[in-house]
Amino acid sequence: MEAVLETHGLSVGYRHKTVLSDISFGLRPGSVAVLIGANGSGKSTLLRTLAGSQQPVSGRISLCGKSLCDYSRRELAKVLSVVFTDRNGGGALTVEECVSIGRHPYTGPFGRLSEEDREIVNKAIADVGMANKAFRMLGTLSDGERQKTMIARALAQQTPLIILDEPTAFLDVAGRLDIMRLLRRLADNGRTILLSSHDIAPAIAVADTLLAIDPSVGKIACDAKECVVASGILDKCFPDAGIHFDSSSGDFRQDAPRHCEAS
């Protein structure tokens, strides 16, 4: 089965600084991959590079068997959609209007929606459970409802791959679990999902693949989640936080305090 997203010897960063190097992995159709790493470790840099909005330092990225650099912007928008967490903007749009923007790779120069486009938009809204709020203004939605709307917009693009940067930021516990279950359901229906997250336990619960950043060497371990957990690399992801990964709970725990012996 051909990988939807594949990298070979990829290094990411900036002109005078490489943040992560020698990244090679592939994501199969219908899978959820979760990127784990400390703030500043390079998660967003990697996601921007994979999304084509930042040039790689070196190496190759392939989408659906074609080099990322060979896609035009319109072609790329038909195979890759991106959801970045942002509380600002779009408040004057309705849910339906916002999701309709996802059809931009397919509409003409005036952005007019065909009947088929409208059916795709309505289905995307229904698929995230927002059908009863289609005509609500974005500014009146909860953070969870707003995030579902952004995911619906990505669905309306009909791309095989969706990349999400911290999709559960700003959400309460129930909202985080709801979004994670939604992403798992989308993968079960054939989409490939790549997301970064600090909500480790629910993210690992829905993941097929983990990408764990070891900041001490600027590299990523990528494998089936059971293999990454067993490797012990998750204990290296947050080296200065005084925490360790507890495989029994699937989450990070505070290290036990050290007691000095009496002299």
Cβ–Cβ < 8 Å for 203, 43: no
Q: Any residues with CB less than 8 A from the CB of 209 and at least 6 apart, and which?
A: 25, 27, 31, 32, 33, 34, 222, 223, 224, 225
At 263 the pLDDT is 43
C-alpha to C-alpha distance for 144 and 22, rounded to whole angstroms:
36
Per-residue pLDDT of the chain (263 residues; tens, 9 = 90+): 789 999 999 999 998 899 999 999 999 999 999 999 988 899 999 999 999 999 999 999 999 999 999 999 999 999 999 998 776 656 789 999 999 999 999 997 777 999 999 999 999 999 999 999 999 999 999 999 999 999 999 999 999 999 999 999 989 999 999 999 999 999 999 999 999 998 888 999 999 999 999 988 888 999 999 999 888 888 888 877 788 888 777 888 887 665 555 54
Q: Cβ–Cβ contacts within 10 Å for residue 257, how many? A: 6
At 218 the pLDDT is 87
At 260 the pLDDT is 52
Taking alpha carbons only, the member of 93, 166, 95, 165 closest to residue 124 is 95
At 89 the pLDDT is 59
Q: Residue 83 forms beta bridges with which residues?
A: 164
DSSP letter at 169 equals T
At 239 the pLDDT is 79
Instruction: Give SS3 for 98.
Output: helix
DSSP letter at 261 equals P
Spell out the alpha helix ranges (H) of the chain: 43-50, 73-76, 95-100, 115-127, 143-156, 173-188, 200-206, 225-231
